[in-house]
Structure 1
Amino acid sequence: MSKKQSASSLISELKRKTRKKYSAEEKIRIILEGMRGEISVAELCRREGIYQANYYKWSKDFMEAGKKRLNGDTLREANSSEVGELKEENSSLKELVAELSLENKRLKKNDYGVE
């Protein structure tokens, strides 16, 4: 391997290791700045150190999420195991309420002699 090849492979390895993960807030800030149009998307991406493809993907995801939110499609479908667990818990809680209601009536009857 020549010096030039080893240097370029070292640089690409460093870039890979130092790749930044952007939080949702950072992505939104960048997207909104791009939508304002005060600077070009290319210039914004250069300044932020991201590829334009990333900007456009984030922008598309942002718009789709907003559309879903406005349509009220924010609920996720529960999986069958969650539904089963919740039904079992609901049944157990109903039984507990019934038992406690009977116990409460019995105690009132004994204390007050009233039904």
Structure 2
Amino acid sequence: MTAKKPISNPENYLKDIRRKTRRIFTAEQKILIVMEALRAETSIAELCRKHAIQESTFYKWNKEFIEAGKKQLSGDTLRQATSEEVSQLREENRKLKETVADLVIRYDIVKKSLEILE
């Protein structure tokens, strides 16, 4: 048998349950909710109740949506490289540096051997 942890505080217990059951919205879901609000068919409060989110959460998503749109329209966006891409580029850079170093050494050897023959 496993021993159950005693409940120290009912408020903490409820917070723990809420934390473990918190819904995670995808970017697409957030965009759809913000777009639904932009259509202005329902009030923000009603929309938040429908999707079971806090109004502050909605307004945060709305602000992020607007800011991302501004950046895109002004051409102020840079593509973020993934860590895998960065690792691959670093490895390729390392190999190229080794190749250049090897070629420089070979060049020096050939140059010195030609100087000896002269």
TM > 0.5? yes
TM-score normalised according to structure 1 size: 0.60
Could you say what the CA RMSD is over the residues aligned between the two structures, in angstroms? 3.3
1:28 to 31, 39, 45: 31
The residue aligned with 1:67 is 70
TM-score normalised according to structure 2 size: 0.58
Q: State the shift of 1:91 in Å.
A: 5.5
Higher share in helix: 1
Gaps of 5+ in 2: 1-8, 101-118
Alpha-carbon separation, structure 1, partners of 2:71 and 2:94: 31
Letter in 1 for 2:77: T
Identical columns (%): 43
The residue aligned with 2:4 is none
Alpha-carbon separation, structure 2, partners of 1:88 and 1:10: 53
Alpha-carbon separation, structure 2, partners of 1:15 and 1:88: 48
- Give the 5 Å matches for 1:52-63: 52-63=55-66
- Give the 5 Å matches for 1:33-48: 33-48=36-51
Gaps of 5+ in 1: 96-115
Alpha-carbon separation, structure 1, partners of 2:63 and 2:94: 40
How many residues in Structure 1 have an aligned counterpart in Structure 2?
A: 87
